Amino acid sequence: MSQRPRRRRGAGRKAKHAARLQAVDEIAGWVDRRIPYFEVLNEEGLELIENNAETVLEEIGIEFREFPRALDLWREAGADVDGERVRFPRGLCRSIIQRSAPAEFTQHARNPERNVIIGGDRTVFVPAYGSPFVRDLDQGRRYATLEDFENFVKLTYMSPGLHHSGGTVCEPVDVPVNKRHFDMIYSHVKYSDKPFMGSVTAPERAQDTVDMAKLVFGETFIQENTVVTSLINANSPMTFDGTMLGAATVYAENNQATVISPFLLAGAMSPVTVAGTVTQILAEALAGMAYVQLVRPGAPVVFGTFAAAVSMQSGAPTFGTPEPSLIVYATAALARRLGVPFRSGGGLCASKLSDAQAAYEAANTLQTSALAGVNFMLHTAGWLEGGLVMGYEKFILDADQASILGVMLRGVDLSENGQAMDALREVGPGAHFLGASHTRANFERAFYRSIVADNNSFEQWEQDGALDAAQRAHTIWKQMLDNYEAPPLDPAIDEALTDHIARRKSEFADRDY
Amino acid sequence: MSQRPRRRRGAGRKAKHAARLQAVDEIAGWVDRRIPYFEVLNEEGLELIENNAETVLEEIGIEFREFPRALDLWREAGADVDGERVRFPRGLCRSIIQRSAPAEFTQHARNPERNVIIGGDRTVFVPAYGSPFVRDLDQGRRYATLEDFENFVKLTYMSPGLHHSGGTVCEPVDVPVNKRHFDMIYSHVKYSDKPFMGSVTAPERAQDTVDMAKLVFGETFIQENTVVTSLINANSPMTFDGTMLGAATVYAENNQATVISPFLLAGAMSPVTVAGTVTQILAEALAGMAYVQLVRPGAPVVFGTFAAAVSMQSGAPTFGTPEPSLIVYATAALARRLGVPFRSGGGLCASKLSDAQAAYEAANTLQTSALAGVNFMLHTAGWLEGGLVMGYEKFILDADQASILGVMLRGVDLSENGQAMDALREVGPGAHFLGASHTRANFERAFYRSIVADNNSFEQWEQDGALDAAQRAHTIWKQMLDNYEAPPLDPAIDEALTDHIARRKSEFADRDY
């Protein structure tokens, strides 16, 4: 499962510099981390949280609602089932997970060069997910459409810092709710060759996702391999609902990956403290991931979490603040101790615009997520307004940050060339390094080049129109879409998909839920 | 020297929430760190750099220019002096520093409650330094004046996240170059009671700073205590010039603190690699700090560094990119191994505006500096355009980030209240925590409240004028200046200072250098 796919060596950083707006070919499939993890709790603190989470599981328990099969499985596994409330002997969930859940897994893409390994020392950057609105500088804020969805799939495909096509990159609200998953999956396959996420809004839509994946990858291939990773949110506090359990069950039965994600606004859906919130997250994630392993031992599962803090004044969610950062650092360490991949973070913000608030909040969350050791970084690019809006300009700005994090995670080159002692000897006191032979030999690969930052002089910047970052990002995404070329797709697969979609769509009436 | 001054316990976070725009009283003097340091190099990597730096000091050496006294001191200390080039036996600089330089020191403020301890597990946030221009949304970009200088001293005084008044918060270019230091020192004393920095643009101006400090603190007090911390930049690569050496010498002789700061744009003033640049920084800082200890063993000295990467395309400095972050992480670890306080980082950016570029770049640098373990964070607030511009709105936005970092550095509360097990038991599955007794007992202190972020609904935000973060920051700084009240200053000291300044200014002609 964790076998490493073929991959062009050394392609990562070079790609970023040479390739820029168009080139997709040279993209590395993920970032290999070569710096430590940052942790805010010591061994004793982590054990305290783990112990408290076991107390939550034992004494309070977790509700598995509207899904009797889950209760049966838990009863068989030795849990105490009381109505829909399940209480767990201490250590039960952990031992179930550790017996069979893979520490890392390959999610296959239709182009094998874009396969990702999720887990271990790797970071996979994924665009934002789930917003009903989009925003750009031309048209402002409006409901998202399928065209917007396709645009974000294309932009993600062209962004070297993003490794995964994501899932509901925005809600195509011009398509009926109960049929839009067909169009979303099709867009991911048609307009990108990066891996993608599946539908979770109903068990039958999860099954549709699996069925379409069979057409793309072949029926036998997906029995053995994971080709879809999907997002299963807990209904915090301490509840999983029938919709999410149904979708998770379909994916697990088909050996497809799920991200079990306590989704909480601390203070409202969890205690108003960091330690209390982390305890709840761990308890919920343990119960959810163990359930997946009961359905099919060995099915890939990711410990996910999404945590914001609510404003105690207005009740609104806040982002980029210190408490959610501490939550991510602590939770990532707990996931490592458990031995499963971890998902959190991204370019989260509450701002309505791609302004300084958006950027401070996003950068704080992105830095935290990267240093904490997030393996699957959903919401990396595009997120505005607490997730209500997918921003075109924000997407470009965040994708640039993903590339920055990619370079940082690779750490310091301590080779002889990296040490640069010859350069120091050649130049000496008071001179400059610009013309030194070491500089000339290395300048192509040296130093991250942003696609959107303006580092020119004030005078040059004024001559260029005195644009702010959002305005420059606006030009960039339009240019990218102009330059977009679809990756090749076998016409037989394309036809099979479109036929399948037409047939399935005709089988039931449109519905707006 | 490192004795802890009296300080109100528990004032820090509470202040942030209760006090907001006006209250200065409740401010903690610094942030006590309770989370680990983040390091990107292991023991072996750090030793490699240390070894290479000793090779630079031994083989290449450092130039001490236009300052014969330094050469004499180095000759006496056992270094090899060849013209102005000084080469050092391996380990000499390190042993000189470790013999006498304090690991931490108190910088006294005229209000003892604002004393700061620089070093150890503490972080002191300091505004930006040195810009000839200012920018605000009303008047755009223009040369700074003494009024601007005073404004930034007042705003810093009123910002709970900033602990230190800084130095040349902007250049008051309406005052002659050779006399403006008098007005700057006077402003720091008159309009704030936080500690401040001294002039370094000429040895006699350093002496003027010391003489004015004597009027404020008393002649005997400053013989025993440090009341000024000043910024001594190396003239990288591998050079200290007469001006900086002269100023450093005056401060050291008077037991005042200096920050010895290699200032370099990697690729131009240092090698084009992270490891090569860090090696050069360490060599320069070792030589500079050892020199200070030769002048007066025990004089407080801070290992400083300012490192940006130049764009290999345009030669322009770039900020918020991964390489300078790696440089800060590595250098902070080297400073800790040496056993001296560390200065770096801040809210650095290349952007001309308080836009998303400014914020991403600043946040990346601020997060890095905080996690790396910077003790004295110069340039925390206000920095725009590579340091050419001090921005009013940027100042407000950055000061908010300083408060965020302050909370994050304090880490996770693992007390029984922090664990919140009773809240989890009280609420249980599917309910919410907003009305829980634990939430009600803790909500006042829970979760950081930004003064500038808008977390309201889109509709509310539109009703409030659809302002971006810079526009909100604009309102805030104007309101702060309207609300400003000067801290009490003994009229006798005020008169002594103004008399002294008038006399000294009359003793020599104005000059524009």
Which residue on chain B is closest to A34 by alpha carbon?
B40
Closest-CA residue to A36 (of A342, A334, A411):
A411
pLDDT value at position A19? 38
Condensed to tens digits (0 to 9), the pLDDT of residues B473-489 reads 999 999 999 999 999 99
The reply to whether A51 touches chain B by the CB within 8 Å rule is no
pLDDT value at position A11? 40
The reply to whether B3 touches chain A by the CB within 8 Å rule is no
Is the four-CA dihedral B371, B309, A474, A129 of positive or negative sign?
Answer: negative
CB contact under 8 A, B436 and A311: no
Whether B346 has a pLDDT exceeding 80, the answer reads yes
Whether B176 has a pLDDT exceeding 90, the answer reads yes
Distance from CA of A232 to the nearest CA of B (A): 17
Chain A hits for B141, Cβ within 8 Å: 458
pLDDT classification of A136: cutoffs 50, 70, 90: very high
The reply to whether B83 touches chain A by the CB within 8 Å rule is no
Q: HSE on the CB side for A78, CA within 13 Å?
A: 9
Mean pLDDT of A491-502: 98
Burial of A471 by CB count in 10 Å (0-12 exposed, 13-18 middle, 19+ buried)? Answer: middle
- Establish whether the linkage from the previous residue to A317 is cis, with ω within 30° of 0: no
Listing DSSP states for A324-376 in one string gives: HHHHHHHHHHHHHHHTS-EE---S----SSSSHHHHHHHHHHHHHHHHHT-SE
C-alpha B201/C-alpha B224 separation (Å) is: 25
pLDDT value at position A269? 96
Mean pLDDT of B258-283: 97
Whether A9 has a pLDDT exceeding 60, the answer reads no
C-alpha B499/C-alpha B495 separation (Å) is: 6
Condensed to tens digits (0 to 9), the pLDDT of residues A399-425 reads 999 999 999 999 999 999 999 999 999
Q: Which helix (H) or strand (E) holds A314?
A: none
Are the beta carbons of B62 and B260 closer than 8 angstroms?
A: no
Token pair recorded at residue A464: 């260029």
The amino acid occupying position A340 is V
pLDDT value at position B29? 83
Which residues does residue A32 pair with via DSSP β-bridges, in sequence order?
A122
CB contact under 8 A, A273 and B461: no
Token pair recorded at residue B282: 């360490």
Mean pLDDT of A180-209: 98
CA angle, corner B366, sides to B362 and B372, nearest 5?
145
Give the mean pLDDT of chain B: 94
pLDDT value at position A29? 83
Return the residue matching tokens 């370019």: A347
**What backbone phi and psi angles, to 5 degrees, belong to A75?**
-60, -45
C-alpha B67/C-alpha B69 separation (Å) is: 6
CB pairs under 8 A between A and B: 407
pLDDT value at position A315? 87
CB contact under 8 A, A419 and B276: yes
Length of chain A counted residue by residue:
513
pLDDT classification of A28: cutoffs 50, 70, 90: low
Which residue in the set A311, A368, A424 is minimally distant from B56, CB to CB? A424
The reply to whether B348 touches chain A by the CB within 8 Å rule is no
User: Rg of chain A's alpha carbons, rounded to an integer?
Assistant: 23
C-alpha A105/C-alpha A125 separation (Å) is: 16
The reply to whether B317 touches chain A by the CB within 8 Å rule is yes
Condensed to tens digits (0 to 9), the pLDDT of residues A368-379 reads 999 999 999 999
C-alpha A164/C-alpha A156 separation (Å) is: 8
Burial B304-338 (b: 16+ CB within 10 A, else e): bbbbbbbbbeeebbbbbbbbbbbbbbbbbbbbbeb
Q: Which helix (H) or strand (E) holds B62?
A: strand B62-64
Distance from CA of B363 to the nearest CA of A (A): 6
Are the beta carbons of B362 and A367 closer than 8 angstroms?
A: no
The reply to whether B320 touches chain A by the CB within 8 Å rule is yes
pLDDT classification of A14: cutoffs 50, 70, 90: very low
Condensed to tens digits (0 to 9), the pLDDT of residues B285-325 reads 999 999 999 999 999 999 999 999 999 888 899 999 999 99
C-alpha A34/C-alpha A52 separation (Å) is: 32
CB contact under 8 A, B414 and A48: yes
Length of chain B counted residue by residue:
513
Token pair recorded at residue B177: 């170059």
pLDDT value at position B23? 38
pLDDT value at position A27? 54
Whether A21 has a pLDDT exceeding 90, the answer reads no
Distance from CA of B456 to the nearest CA of A (A): 6
Chain A hits for B274, Cβ within 8 Å: 412-413, 418
Which of B419, B451, B452, B471 is the mutation pick for testing A, counting most A CBs within 10 A?
B419
Condensed to tens digits (0 to 9), the pLDDT of residues B459-469 reads 999 999 999 99
The amino acid occupying position B81 is V
Which residues touch A395 (CB under 8 Å, ≥6 apart)? A127, A128, A152, A155, A381, A382, A473, A477
CA angle, corner A415, sides to A413 and A420, nearest 5?
90
pLDDT classification of B10: cutoffs 50, 70, 90: very low
Whether B9 has a pLDDT exceeding 50, the answer reads no
Return the residue matching tokens 């925390």: B380
Which residues touch A121 (CB under 8 Å, ≥6 apart)? A32, A33, A34
CB contact under 8 A, B430 and A397: no
CB contact under 8 A, A444 and B312: yes
The amino acid occupying position A418 is G
Helix and strand element counts for chain B (H, E): 19, 19
pLDDT value at position B444? 83
Whether B192 has a pLDDT exceeding 90, the answer reads yes
Which of B55, B351, B355 is the mutation pick for testing A, counting most A CBs within 10 A?
B355
The reply to whether B370 touches chain A by the CB within 8 Å rule is no
Which of B55, B71, B86, B360 is the mutation pick for testing A, counting most A CBs within 10 A?
B360
The reply to whether B151 touches chain A by the CB within 8 Å rule is no
Whether A152 has a pLDDT exceeding 50, the answer reads yes
pLDDT value at position A16? 40
Mean pLDDT of B333-362: 98
Whether A7 has a pLDDT exceeding 80, the answer reads no
Distance from CA of A370 to the nearest CA of B (A): 12
CB contact under 8 A, A360 and B357: no
Q: Give the ipTM.
A: 0.94
C-alpha A294/C-alpha A302 separation (Å) is: 15
Token pair recorded at residue A178: 């109960």
Helical axes A203-217 vs A242-253, angle rounded to 10°: 20
Is the four-CA dihedral A114, A118, A122, A123 of positive or negative sign?
Answer: positive
Are the beta carbons of A346 and A383 closer than 8 angstroms?
A: yes
CA angle, corner A83, sides to A273 and A239, nearest 5?
30
Whether B137 has a pLDDT exceeding 80, the answer reads yes
C-alpha A371/C-alpha A4 separation (Å) is: 24
Whether B187 has a pLDDT exceeding 50, the answer reads yes
The reply to whether A267 touches chain B by the CB within 8 Å rule is yes
**What backbone phi and psi angles, to 5 degrees, belong to A107?**
-100, 120
Condensed to tens digits (0 to 9), the pLDDT of residues B16-45 reads 433 333 333 345 689 999 999 999 999 999
Token pair recorded at residue B426: 């009280």
Whether A2 has a pLDDT exceeding 60, the answer reads no
Chain B hits for A364, Cβ within 8 Å: 363, 367, 401, 404
Mean pLDDT of B427-435: 94
